[in-house]
């Protein structure tokens, strides 16, 4: 099955899983369309005092627990979260932070769930990864959103209390492209039989209940398609074949899990057959805020370490923080910490408020925080010099403070790959960014349809663009008094307004130039999305500084300074990206890559010896096991 999926089919599956409707207004969608609707994110919704109180109480409990009972060096040394730590997390309710109180959880808001992840993640990223895989993608969130009342009553109290959960989608031959899912769910009386092999399931080595994605064959009254199931992990036929080890995140319980004729009752199907990917994607709409939260914690910690170290360390007669090259990095680290926190706070309050659709903002936050967070840690390593490269254990053994910068760099790297790699996030967000155009002009762009339907589509598109295009010419960003209430940050918001219109013009121009082929211009689309992320981050920083001024007046001026610092950095990045939209080496690079792939420069690889040896990267027999062919063969 897997190898038969064409590019077109893969895209059709992704398209079908996409939430096509926009029931609520979206700041991100409007931003890409050239309409800067600041009122959709600002003023930020007020936090409810009662929710704040409960949230702060839990943060204090979590902090005390981490400091008293968890040794991060031990997790790193043993590559294992000790049992007493897991038990402690269960005891304080950390497995049910976001689960409603009526189902036995703490019922905290998205804002406080994120703060908890940031706190735990800084102590050791294996802990925040356990918690977020369990709650953001594991059983709780898909059931909260799509589970029946019966399913919620049955499973949520368990996962909120002490049943660790995991999410099993990926397979050896199925990564970013879920259309290839080979695991099967064969309907039988009262339920389904699951077969297949699942790769890289975080928590999968110790889970109690998991969500599994598998293909239900069509026919015999079955709608079929990729479907999501809740599966008790102690079911017969479930085998954890391997505990995977990684560059970082030492201590996560990540598995290869084999499913062999595993019975799952029909009542464990989440939603309907064929809705599995939609469920996975919708779960990620807010689930995606977990990773930015962890990045925010890391960036704040990097600011602390950079500050303390750069004041204390003296070289060439001065604290290193006074040398300009180091000072530039400190400004980058601190500015980024503020900008990332702003973006997260804006998106999380919107998530709690539920008045807008935040799928684009959450996706932008994931993309942006994982990329910028990585650069922040890289900058910190440089500021720490040789100590940045040394392990915390080794520093400690020499009597120095055990600052785990190299560990954090290793831990952070995965954020650019899982829960949607940067490349896939670019495509996903770009799809949303051009959605309105596809709605009004898709038929023309694709060149699909007969003459009559294309003529109708042209007329419809004509009407839309006759109104839309003139709006891109002028706007509040040209009014020197606009956004005055933001004081020194007003200019930054005027830039966002102008930038949003420019971005929409560039997108429109690219669509007319490349039409349906635009989707293959990934480097171009990536920049469009990255510009959108910079613009959103600037708007978020201005709004967040304003909020701090309202909620903590004594910090208002300082927040404004940090916002200015961050906005200037973000603006320069946006300007560079705008320039590179039309002046780049994309075509030449793409052609060169094809020549590399064709083996034209094989001689360039002379003089090395490959420690992995020769042969295919994923041998056929591994793929065969992954597709469950061995089971079919055994049965046959
Ligand atoms: C530590 C860890 C934890 C994980 N936890 C889980 C989990 O709990 N549950 C789970 O189901 N999965 C999990 N995963 C899997 C993770 O989500 C995948 O690694 C991710 O989806 C990417 O898939 P892949 O690694 O197979 O890369 P591939 O899809 O093979 O991609 C390889 C490269 O090609 C790029 N690429 C792929 N398609 C395109 C395209 N159309 N256009 C442009 N570029 C493209 C990718 O961005 C990437 O750079 C985990 C992985 C790791 C390493």
Active-site annotation holds for 419: yes
Cα 64 to Cα 58, 60, 89, 161, 300: the distances in Å are 10, 6, 12, 20, 19
Q: β-strands 225-232, 269-270: how paired? A: antiparallel
Mutate to test the pocket of ligand 1, among 8, 139, 176 (most ligand atoms within 8 A of CB): 176
Whole-number Å distance between alpha carbons of 397 and 614: 40
Ligand 1: centre distance to CA 418 (Å): 6
How does pLDDT run across 85-121, given as a tens digit for each residue? 999 999 999 999 999 999 999 999 999 999 999 999 9
Q: β-strands 191-202, 184-188: how paired? A: antiparallel
Ligand 1: centre distance to CA 179 (Å): 13
Q: What's the CATH code, domain 49-161?
A: 1.10.540.10
Ligand 1: centre distance to CA 526 (Å): 17
Check pLDDT > 90 for residue 425.
Answer: yes
Where are the domain boundaries for CATH 1.20.140.10 in the chain? 284-429
According to CATH, the superfamily of the domain at 284-429 is: Butyryl-CoA Dehydrogenase, subunit A, domain 3 (1.20.140.10)
Where are the domain boundaries for CATH 2.40.110.10 in the chain? 165-274
Ligand 1 closest atom vs CA 175: 26
Ligand 1 closest atom vs CA 244: 1
> Whose CA is closest to 392, among 370, 410, 415, 374?
410
Quick check: helix, strand or coil at residue 380?
helix
> Would you state the pLDDT for residue 318?
97
| Contact assessment for residue 143 and residue 155, using Cβ atoms and an 8 Å cutoff | yes
Check pLDDT > 60 for residue 1.
Answer: no
Spell out which residues line ligand 1, taking CB within 6 angstroms. 133, 166-170, 175-176, 200-202, 246, 249, 254, 414, 417-418, 421, 423-424, 427, 522
Ligand 1: centre distance to CA 434 (Å): 24
Mutate to test the pocket of ligand 1, among 6, 165, 170 (most ligand atoms within 8 A of CB): 170
Where are the domain boundaries for CATH 1.10.540.10 in the chain? 49-161
Indicate the pLDDT class of residue 628, thresholds 50, 70 and 90: low
| Contact assessment for residue 523 and residue 573, using Cβ atoms and an 8 Å cutoff | no
- How far does Cα 580 stand from its chain's mean position? 25
Indicate the pLDDT class of residue 634, thresholds 50, 70 and 90: very low
Q: What is the pTM of this model?
A: 0.95
How does pLDDT run across 431-470, given as a tens digit for each residue? 998 888 888 887 776 766 677 877 777 888 888 888 999 9
| Assigned CATH topology for domain 165-274 | Butyryl-CoA Dehydrogenase, subunit A; domain 2 (2.40.110)
Indicate the pLDDT class of residue 19, thresholds 50, 70 and 90: confident
pLDDT, mean over the chain: 94
Ligand 1: centre distance to CA 282 (Å): 18
Indicate the pLDDT class of residue 2, thresholds 50, 70 and 90: very low
């Amino acid at each position: 099955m897997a190898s038969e999926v064409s590019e077109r089919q893969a895209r059709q599956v992704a398209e079908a899983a996409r939430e096509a409707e926009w029931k609520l207004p979206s700041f991100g969608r409007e931003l890409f369309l050239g309409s800067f609707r600041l009122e959709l994110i600002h003023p930020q919704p007020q936090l409810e005092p009662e929710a704040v109180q409960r949230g702060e109480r839990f943060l204090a409990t979590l902090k005390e627990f981490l400091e008293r009972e968890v040794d991060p060096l031990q997790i790193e040394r043993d590559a294992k979260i000790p049992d007493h730590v897991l038990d402690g997390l269960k005891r304080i309710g950390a497995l049910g932070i976001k689960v409603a109180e009526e189902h036995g959880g703490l019922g905290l808001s998205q804002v406080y769930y994120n703060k908890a992840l940031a706190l735990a993640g800084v102590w050791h990223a294996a802990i925040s990864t356990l918690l977020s895989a369990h709650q953001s993608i594991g059983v709780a969130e898909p059931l909260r959103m799509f589970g029946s009342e019966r399913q919620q009553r049955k499973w949520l109290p368990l996962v909120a209390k002490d049943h660790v959960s995991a999410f099993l989608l990926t397979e050896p031959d199925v990564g970013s492209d879920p259309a290839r899912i080979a695991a099967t769910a064969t309907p039988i009386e009262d339920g389904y039989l699951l077969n297949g092999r699942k790769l890289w399931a975080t928590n999968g080595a110790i889970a109690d209940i998991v969500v599994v994605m598998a293909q239900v064959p069509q026919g015999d009254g079955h709608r079929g398609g990729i479907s999501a199931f809740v599966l008790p992990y102690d079911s017969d036929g479930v085998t954890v074949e391997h505990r995977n080890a990684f560059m970082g995140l030492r201590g996560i319980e990540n598995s290869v899990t084999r499913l062999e004729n595993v019975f799952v009752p029909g009542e464990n199907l989440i939603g309907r057959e064929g809705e599995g990917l939609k469920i996975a994607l919708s779960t990620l709409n807010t689930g995606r805020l977990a990773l930015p939260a962890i990045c925010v914690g890391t960036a704040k910690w990097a600011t602390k370490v950079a500050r303390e170290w750069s004041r204390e360390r003296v070289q060439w007669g001065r604290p290193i923080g006074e040398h300009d090259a180091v000072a530039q990095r400190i400004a980058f680290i601190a500015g980024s910490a503020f900008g990332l926190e702003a973006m997260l706070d804006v998106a999380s309050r919107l998530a709690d408020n539920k008045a807008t659709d935040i799928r684009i903002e959450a996706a932008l936050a994931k993309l942006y925080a994982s990329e910028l967070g990585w650069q922040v840690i890289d900058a910190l390593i440089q500021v720490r010099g040789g100590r940045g490269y040394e392990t915390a254990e080794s520093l400690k053994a020499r009597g120095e403070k055990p600052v785990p910068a190299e560990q954090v760099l290793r831990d952070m790297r995965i954020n650019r790959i899982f829960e949607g790699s940067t490349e896939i996030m670019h495509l996903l967000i770009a799809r949303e960014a051009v959605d309105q155009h596809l709605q009004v002009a898709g038929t023309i762009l694709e060149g699909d349809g007969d003459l009559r339907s294309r003529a109708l589509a042209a007329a419809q598109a004509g009407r839309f663009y006759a109104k839309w295009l003139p709006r891109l010419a002028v706007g509040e960003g040209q009014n020197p008094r606009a956004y005055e209430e933001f004081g020194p940050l007003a200019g930054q918001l005027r830039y966002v307004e102008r930038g949003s219109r420019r971005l929409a013009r560039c997108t429109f121009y690219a669509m007319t130039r490349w039409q349906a082929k635009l989707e293959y211009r990934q480097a171009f689309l990536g920049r469009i999305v990255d510009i959108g992320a910079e613009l959103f981050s600037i708007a978020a920083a201005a709004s967040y500084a304003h909020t701090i001024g309202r909620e903590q007046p004594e910090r208002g001026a300082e927040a404004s300074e940090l916002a200015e610092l961050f906005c200037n950095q973000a603006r320069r990045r946006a300007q560079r990206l705008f320039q590179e939209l039309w002046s780049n080496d994309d075509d030449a690079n793409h052609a060169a890559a094809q020549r590399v792939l064709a083996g034209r420069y094989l001689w360039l690889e002379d003089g090395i010896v490959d420690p992995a040896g020769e042969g295919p990267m994923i041998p056929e027999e591994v793929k065969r096991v992954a597709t469950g062919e061995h089971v079919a063969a055994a049965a046959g």
